[in-house]
Amino acid sequence: MGGRVIDADSKPNSPSNGERNLVLVGRTGNGKSATANSILGKKAFMSKAGSSGVTKTCEMQRTMLKAGQVVNVIDTPGLFDSSADPEFVSKEIVKCIGMAKDGIHAVLLVFSIRNRFSKEEGAAIHILESLFGKKISDYMIVVFTGGDELEDNDETLEDYLGRECPKPLKEILQLCDNRCVLFDNKTKDAAKRTEQVGKLLSLVNSVIAQNAGQPYTDEIFAELKKGATKLRDTQVEVDSLKGYSKREISELKEQMQKSYEDQLKRTTEMVESKLKETTTRLEQQLAEEHLARLKAEGAAQLAQMKSNEKIFKLREKLERSQRETQELRNRAPQPPCPIL
């Protein structure tokens, strides 16, 4: 299946006209790979139904837009699923950062209108913020997949959000300045495909403009980039060395590769410890919220019981006084018979 050229209203030589790195994240099965394929215009990533994750590791594919702009699309596994192992997740995050060398132009948070919004999806945003800082939300765009199902029900995205928007999802949309787009990844209608990808790419353009053309980067990006550049430069240097045997050169190269891998390992460990810290904090927060809710419910129940008890006592008192009145009436002397 061939690639496709998309018009994204971009002007040649505009500051935002360089390569764009888009990363898709979201729960397993939400349609990240299907959306990535829609953006690329080809079946580059495996996308299928299944209870366990289909995408096993981060992968990057690219396409070229009409204006000659290159879009790099990074597909990821379900990194924020509660079943994901922190060691695996950290390795994947570092791998993903390594792929988006110059930074990330937009993070696409993929939700599905076919699956109910889950607590862990609500928590994912806090994990992202904690790993990458609050400014990551300036780069986020929400993608809802399953547009075909909404259409079958004669609904628009606004209708759906009007009836099915839990508080954490509302907060995510607010954080993203309501940047959201609906995708029907099943459609065969070429015009519809072009339109939805065009809408997404114009949102990407507005994110780039808002961030003054600067993709998202941080110290992890900087460290990894520095390490990779050093490795490349020293490899070139070693290749040009004269007077060394083949074995010596290969040993030198091995040493450099090892020092680069050590650096990767350290970075991964750092990400892992940050990730663990965040998940523990979030779990504690959730447990505290749960406890507070239980306490509030308990207090409400107690108040209800107390008022039930009061009503019961009042009723008893009333019945007793009614009985006593009746007894008094019964005991009272009867009026004499009227004399005829």
Ligand X SMILES: Nc1nc2c(ncn2[C@@H]2O[C@H](COP(=O)(O)OP(=O)(O)OP(=O)(O)O)[C@@H](O)[C@H]2O)c(=O)[nH]1
Q: Which residues bind Mg ion (CB under 5 A)?
A: 32-33, 54-55
- Minimum Å gap between C-beta 267 and ligand X is 24
DSSP per-residue string spanning 322-334? HHHHHHHHHHSPP
The correct pick among 120, 138, 148, 223 for binding ligand X (CB under 6 A) is 148
The residue among 75 and 221 lying less far from ligand X, judged by its C-beta, is: 75
Least Å distance, CB 310 to Mg ion, is 60
Q: Does 77 bind ligand X (CB under 6 A)?
A: yes
φ/ψ region of 339 (left if φ > 0, alpha if ψ in -120 to 50, else beta) reads beta
Q: Which of residues 92-131 bind ligand X (CB under 6 A)?
A: none
Query: Shortest distance, CB of residue 47 to Mg ion, whole angstroms?
Result: 6
Q: E strands along the chain, which residues?
A: 20-25, 59-64, 70-75, 106-112, 140-145, 180-183
In 3D, which of 15, 5, 1, 2 has the Cα closest to residue 68? 5
Q: Does 34 bind ligand X (CB under 6 A)?
A: yes
Q: Which does 227 bind (CB under 5 to 8 A by kind): ligand X, Mg ion, none?
A: none
Closest to 107 in 3D by CA, of 21, 15, 205, 36:
21
34/200 with CB nearer Mg ion: 34
Q: CA–CA distance from 206 to each of 16, 108, 115, 161, 209 (Å)?
A: 10, 14, 29, 23, 5
Which has the closest alpha carbon to 91: 279, 273, 268?
A: 268
> Residue 54 or residue 173: which is nearer to Mg ion going by CB?
54
Contact between 182 and ligand X per CB under 6 A:
no
Nearer to ligand X, 17 or 90 (CB): 90
Q: List residues binding ligand X (CB under 6 A).
A: 26, 28-34, 47-49, 53-55, 77-78, 145-149, 183-186
